[in-house]
């Protein structure tokens, strides 16, 4: 999509949000569901990927959509880098956490169904997209708890029982698990990774965390938040509202959920985090917070790889922003291939 069409789409999404948000700050979920565009799971392969929805926790309405690629050689990988023969026989696992400011969207939203289908196909991986409880009805830490519960669900072995008969569970590589998310989902991926590092999750082994325009912040206004104006998808005012909806009552944006390396946040120096990939856009008003996050991880001795796209908007990969989205997928594929 070109920038002008992204601006038009942004205005439509902003109007959609305004229709769903009541004056008291609550969300009209009936309007949310009516105006949103959802697609059902499809057990028949579409674009080389079939999907199935599975309930993780009925009472909490936590469920996942599995994106299962066909068993075939990874042609795109052969263009990028020769993969090891053994690696090609097994599916790595990618947990995907959707964005939407902790408030909107879900795995069956058309944009995320399309994106995760593409992610599964290009990376030849089993993608598990998680539906978590959303704010403001369910504030911090509900989203983190639900997404970690999905990880425990995979650990229990229930996930492999949900696979189609055409997929041998032995083809699923539990030793190569990746956490991925865009925007608020990127924030969730970080917090799930921290919790997983402090928990026994074998036989699972998290090899990497992939953050696409992650949603971090703080009380201060960064230069980018002041300088970058009238860009598609996000605004300072709307992002502030998302944080107010998600954070505990009385908390500000220096809460550890938001400001990862703020004065109120725990020291991550001794936390055994896996390698981290961060995608940052030059037209994203959150870019300074994302860069600061990467710099702080580096100073804490963590393995961090940053890709900066000068013309990238917030979550540009979700909207197929011209050629840079294609390059972003190559970055993701290479990261997975090297871990």
Interval 198-245: pLDDT, tens: 999 999 999 999 999 999 999 999 999 999 887 877 899 999 999 999
List all residues 6 or more positions away from 165 whose beta carbon is below 8 Å from its beta carbon.
none
What local confidence, expressed as pLDDT, does residue 110 receive? 92
Return the DSSP state at 27.
B
- What is residue 79's predicted lDDT score, i.e. its pLDDT? 41
pLDDT of residue 232: 75
Residue whose entry in the numeric block shows the structure tokens 């920038």: 3
The average confidence (pLDDT) of the chain is: 89
Which residue did the predictor score with more confidence, 60 or 160?
A: 60
Least reliable range by pLDDT among 45-54, 101-110, 222-231, 312-321: 312-321
pLDDT digits (tens, 9 = 90+) for 181-203: 999 999 999 999 999 999 999 99
If you write DSSP's letter for every residue of 293-312 in order, what string do you get?
Answer: HHHHHHHTT--EEEEEETT-
Choosing from 108, 113, 284, 288, the catalytic residue is 284
Calpha distance 246→287 (Å, rounded) = 21
- Evaluate if residue 82 carries a pLDDT over 50: no
User: Which structural domains are found in the chain, ordered by start?
Assistant: 36-81+88-338 (3.40.50.1820)
* Dihedral pair phi/psi, residue 93, rounded to 5°: -115, 130
Chain-centroid distance of CA 310 in Å reads 21
Q: What's the rounded Cα separation, in Å, for the pair 87 and 83?
A: 7
Q: Distance of alpha carbon 238 from its chain centroid, rounded?
A: 19
How long is the chain? 339
Indicate which residue of 10, 50, 183, 315 is catalytic.
183
Task: Tell me the per-residue pLDDT of 252-285, one tens digit each, with 9 for 90 and over.
Answer: 999 999 999 999 999 999 999 999 999 999 999 9
Q: What is the pLDDT of residue 231?
A: 80
Output Rg (C-alpha) for the chain, integer angstroms.
Answer: 19
How many alpha carbons fall within 13 Å on the CB side of residue 130?
Answer: 37
Q: What mean pLDDT do residues 80-85 have?
A: 46
Question: What is the average pLDDT across 161-166?
Answer: 72
- Of 36-40, 78-82, 86-90, 131-135, the range with the lowest mean pLDDT is 78-82
Q: Find the mean pLDDT for residues 299-319.
A: 93
183 an active-site residue? yes
Q: Give the DSSP H/E element, type plus range, for residue 182.
A: strand 172-182
Which pLDDT value is given to residue 8?
A: 65
Give percent above pLDDT 90 in the chain. 73
269 is catalytic: no
pLDDT at 73 over 60: no
What's the whole-model pTM score?
A: 0.93
- 201, 192 in Cβ contact below 8 A? no
> CB 121: neighbour CB atoms within 10 A?
22
- pLDDT the model gives residue 162: 76
Name the pairing type of β-strands 62-69 and 49-57.
antiparallel
What is the average pLDDT across 44-60? 93
pLDDT band at 247 (very low <50, low <70, confident <90, very high): very high
């Amino acid at each position: 999509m070109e920038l002008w069409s992204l601006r038009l789409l942004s205005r439509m999404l902003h109007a959609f949000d305004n229709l769903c948000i009541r004056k008291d700050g609550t969300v009209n979920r009936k309007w949310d569901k009516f105006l949103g565009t959802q697609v059902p799971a499809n057990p028949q392969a579409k674009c080389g990927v079939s999907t199935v929805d599975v309930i993780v926790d009925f009472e909490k309405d936590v469920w996942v959509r599995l994106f299962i690629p066909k068993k075939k050689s990874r042609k795109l990988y052969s263009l990028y880098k020769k993969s090891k023969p053994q690696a090609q026989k097994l599916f790595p696992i990618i947990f995907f956490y959707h964005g939407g400011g902790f408030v909107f969207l879900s795995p069956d939203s058309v944009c995320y169904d399309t994106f995760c289908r593409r992610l599964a196909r290009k990376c030849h991986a089993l993608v598990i997209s998680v539906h978590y409880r959303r704010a403001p009805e369910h504030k911090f830490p509900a989203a983190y708890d639900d997404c970690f519960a999905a990880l425990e669900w995979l650990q229990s072995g229930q996930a492999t029982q949900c696979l189609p008969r055409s997929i041998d569970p032995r083809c699923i590589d539990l030793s190569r698990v990746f956490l991925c998310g865009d925007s608020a989902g990127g924030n969730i991926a970080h917090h799930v990774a921290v919790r997983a590092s402090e928990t026994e999750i074998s036989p699972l082994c998290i090899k990497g965390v992939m953050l696409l325009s992650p949603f971090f912040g703080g009380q201060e206004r960064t230069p980018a938040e002041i300088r970058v104006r009238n860009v598609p998808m996000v605004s300072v005012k709307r992002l502030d509202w998302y944080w107010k909806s998600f954070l505990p009552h009385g908390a500000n944006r220096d809460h550890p959920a938001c400001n990862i390396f703020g004065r109120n946040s725990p020291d991550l120096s001794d936390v055994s985090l896996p390698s981290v990939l961060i995608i940052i856009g030059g037209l994203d008003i959150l870019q300074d917070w994302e860069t600061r996050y990467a710099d702080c991880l580096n100073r804490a001795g963590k393995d961090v790889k940053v890709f900066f796209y000068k013309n990238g908007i917030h979550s540009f990969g979700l909207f197929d922003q011209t050629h840079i989205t294609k390059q972003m997928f190559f970055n993701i594929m290479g990261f997975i291939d090297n871990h």
